[in-house]
A and B are shown apart, each in its own frame.
Chain A
Amino acid sequence: MAGMEATVRAGWVVPLLLITAVAKAQQPVSIAIERRLAERLRVQVGDTLSIGVDAGATDRKAIVSAIYEPAPDPAAITKREYFLRLHLPDLAALLGSPDRVERFAVALKPGVSPAAAAERLNQIAFGFRASPSRDIATESSQTFRVVSRFHQAIAVISVVASGIFLLCMMLLKVEERRRDAAVMRFTGISRRTIFAALLLEAVLVSALGSVFGVALALGASLVTNLYYQRFFDTSLVFSVVTPSIVRFSVLLSLGLGLAAGAIAALRLVRTNPLILWGRG
């Protein structure tokens, strides 16, 4: 079933569904349609469809010889296009462009550099351009690089916001212990011990928050994937919580918690216990 791929639109396939009479004059062409399109048209292998380039001229008969699941393509999911596959000569005839193709895929002998081969081909090229697959992949992934940069920028803002929030919370959490710290000082407990106790508390709170945060992120990621996989009818994975992301988040949380706890605890132990008690 090797051949070119034709884009079939939602509006375009409706006439295909309606005109299903078996052709008499022409031998039907053999086509493979993707699973989503087959479900939409409610067709099975062996059914006959009418296809054409223009919606008003769907006069070519086609027999569904296969239903396939296309490789998930992140670049195409938002367009919600439908695809069907034809043998190359059949599609060329349908388009009225015999012996014309959009591109060739070239397999090189082992050891041949794709860049060097593409350069040699381009020296003799007229009307085509040869590019190593790696360059094409780089070019076609531009969209995702832009999305990735956008996500990174949003992530930086989120990290700053959550960092400030965490600092604020830790500061308040430690300051809430003013009276406890005063009592400890009155009973002769050393500043160092109080500082260590407050710091330990801050670290414990941060660690606990980190655990809850990671669990929340895993849950949110799961929901995100379930929702978008269903929304776009695809097996693509939209959200991945990697060990490096978990590591970064936990370290950031612990670091900020430790820093905020240390600053606030230092202020507390340096303050006169009478002031902490509210009598200074």
Chain B
Amino acid sequence: MRLGLAVLTALTLAGGTGASADELKRGELLFQGCRSCHALEPGRVAMAGPTLDGLAGRLFGAAAGFDYSPAFTAMREKGLRWDAERLKAYLRDPDSVVPGGWMSPPVGLGEADRAALAEFLLER
């Protein structure tokens, strides 16, 4: 019961929309393009970017052990959390969500790609 409530809360925070299996699969494939900087395994820090494990509802700049930019740290201190809309906007133009952050814009992603990638990252 508690677990179910926790999952529901996380999905609500994340703005999850119950994506189809095909959509999630597409998001997973698109994530291969992120693997040069990000891992999905928890606690893996020796990469250019933080692990994206447990992203749904996570505070900005809160992956354990990762040394974030001052811009991300400021967002964490404001209490901002990842949800679908913020993640899609971030994938479109990171600087518009976290001005002065260190990540470059992901390239070659259309709106549907960003939606699939966001669903995969938030619902896995």
Q: Do A and B bind each other?
A: no
